[in-house]
Chain A
Amino acid sequence: MSEHLLVASELTKRFGGLTAVDGVDFHVDEGEIVGLIGPNGAGKTTVFNLISRFLEPTAGTITFAGVNLLKVPPHRVIGLGIARTFQNLGLFPYLSVEDNLLIGRHNQFRGRILPLALGLGQREERAAASEVRAMLEAFGLGAVRGALASMLPYGSQKAVELIRALMAGPRLVLLDEPVAGMNAAETQAMGQFIRRVRDERGVTVLLVEHDMSLVMEICDRIVVLDFGRKIAEGTPHEIGTNPRVIEAYLGQEVDRAQV
């Protein structure tokens, strides 16, 4: 059991009197696409923020590839191999797509500040820029390299943010609602994109998403949260027929005899 890539156990987060995440256990294995679903307010994004170390858990542990994540500050998480995207887009709007992707590989830059100040970082910059170009072209987005991130259509921004997450060569990416606000065609394309990322680059994916068609189609395994608790876990088929999940999403069937 110890070879899971990511393990959260007994994970709990309280905000004052509100328990957003309540003793959740789950794991992600290398090469999987795992969906984290649940109604609004179930605690999904809080789980992401705990893994990203933006929040300190009230109790519980998170380990990634055997490393205790709770000992790591937020900016070191990516160095361990965990990258993420954000629900409301984490792109830097006033920077070009290229610069956004360059920030994605911030950790790979080795140049020290003094040589940089004296203009000695050119070679490294050029190498990084060509890496960015190759990455964009691999995903068919070569044409938007110089555009301001905020000028792209929404779907492309989401795609660019995912590509940025890949720039650091992560083992795991956390995708917070990758298709929120997309139409059916865009959703389909993003689903294929996520699959490609896993299949071609061997990147493990943990995603939060409300769009059930996407979750059912691309996830190998699904973890369901409701009011901070894990209520189910299993394959898409198992989840789709699980009465507790249906109840959480649609409400309990009212027993007419009791009315």
Chain B
Amino acid sequence: MKRAIFWTVVVALLALLPLVLRSYNLYLLNLAAVKIIAAIGLALLTGFTGQLSIGHAGFLAIGAYGTALLAQYAGLPFWVGIPVAGLLSGLAGFILLVPALRLTAIYLAIATLAFGTAVVEALPRWASVTGGYQGMSVPRESFLGVTVTRNDVAMFYLALVMVVVLLWVARNIVRSRVGRAFVAIRDKSAAAQACGVSLAKYKALAFFLSALYAGLAGGLYAHVVGYISPAEFGLGKSIDLFIMIALGGMASLPGPVLGALFLTYLPHWLSGFRGLQSIIYGSALIGVVIFMPFGIWGFVRKWTAPDKVQSLPWPLRAAVEFVRGGGGR
């Protein structure tokens, strides 16, 4: 109960941000929200279920283009278009199930890479519909009389709702038998099967959920930026997503959130150090990999483990225990 109140207050405070933040800062937060949603999806697949994917930007593309095309050609409003495009992306996730039932680790990663590349290659070739390499603008939409597409304040609220709901859903899944089955498949698939976990069923579910999240993130992205082109969904994006979850801690839910925020703001803060930017960025990544093998969240968990917390003075200990309890796996 206490925890529910705590999170309600957090969300309420976040909802007040448009009162104090300038439009550009809201825009950055909206981009962070897109990454958070996609990263949670990838964490479910790679972090929890152990299925490596470096083609996830393909699902972002399906969600973004799906949303834009559904708006343009079917006249669907964004609140229908984004979920429908997300579901389409989720169904496309089953395509990756075919290699995933036969391949593991790096071999599966190669198959997913091929998928991501295929999507980005296919989009411009269907130029009459997708606008080719130039891309396409997302039809401007309004909701209750307010233009929402490219409206940073309106998109901030949509992004906030999506992040909160999708994070909550992911948490419910991770803490259920489904989440346990995911981890079981990741760690010891033979033992998982002996316990009654169907590899085919749960891998299918992981790919579906993960692609659904990426697709929803793509749909949100389309309306946040208002203009999409194939180049934005290339291999680099897929690798960025992977770095986010590796950095944040991939077998957790706070991990992808932290990783996505980190990768949104770090390049932004570093933009002042021209030339040094890549060096600092690269060093930071290497540092995290060496000193925090389980990511930022793993590091936090380690230093707030019960035996370490015992020695802290009371107010600090109480605070850490409160936050820890909500972290989950």
* A residues apposed to B, CB below 8 Å: 52, 54, 73-79, 83-84, 86, 90-95, 99, 102-104, 106-107, 109, 111, 113, 116-119, 121, 125, 164, 168
Chain B residues positioned under 8 Å from A76 (CB to CB): 196
B-side contacts of A54, CB under 8 Å: 190, 193
- Which residues of chain B have C-beta atoms less than 8 A from A111's C-beta? 176-177
Q: Can you name 18 A-B pairs with beta carbons within 8 Å?
A: A52-B194, A75-B197, A77-B194, A78-B196, A79-B196, A91-B191, A94-B183, A95-B183, A103-B177, A103-B181, A103-B192, A113-B173, A116-B176, A116-B177, A121-B172, A121-B177, A125-B176, A168-B195
B183 neighbours in A (Cβ, 8 Å): 92, 94-95, 99
B contacts, CB < 8 Å to A: 168-169, 172-173, 175-178, 180-181, 183-184, 187-188, 190-199, 205, 251
Q: Establish whether residues B198 and A118, one from each chain, have CB atoms under 8 Å apart when the complex forms.
A: no
Contacts of B177 in A (CB 8 A): 102-103, 106, 109, 111, 116, 121
A73 to B205, CA, bound (A): 19
Number of A-B contacts (CB under 8 A): 89
Complex CA gap A237/B173 in Å reads 53
Residues of B within 8 Å of A121, CB to CB, are: 172, 176-177
A151 shortest CB reach to chain B, Å? 11
B188 touches A92 (CB 8 A): yes
Closest 5 CB pairs of A and B: A90-B191, A107-B196, A74-B193, A109-B177, A78-B196
Of chain A, the residue at the smallest CB distance from B176 is A116
Contacting pair B190 A117 (CB below 8 A): no
Q: When the two chains form their complex, are residues B195 and A106 in contact, meaning their CB atoms are under 8 A apart? A: yes
The answer on a CB contact under 8 Å between A75 and B199 is yes
**Smallest CB separation, B94 vs chain A (Å):** 15
Inter-chain contacts of B175 with A (CB < 8 A): 125
Given A94-B187, A95-B183, check contact A117 B172 (CB 8 Å): yes
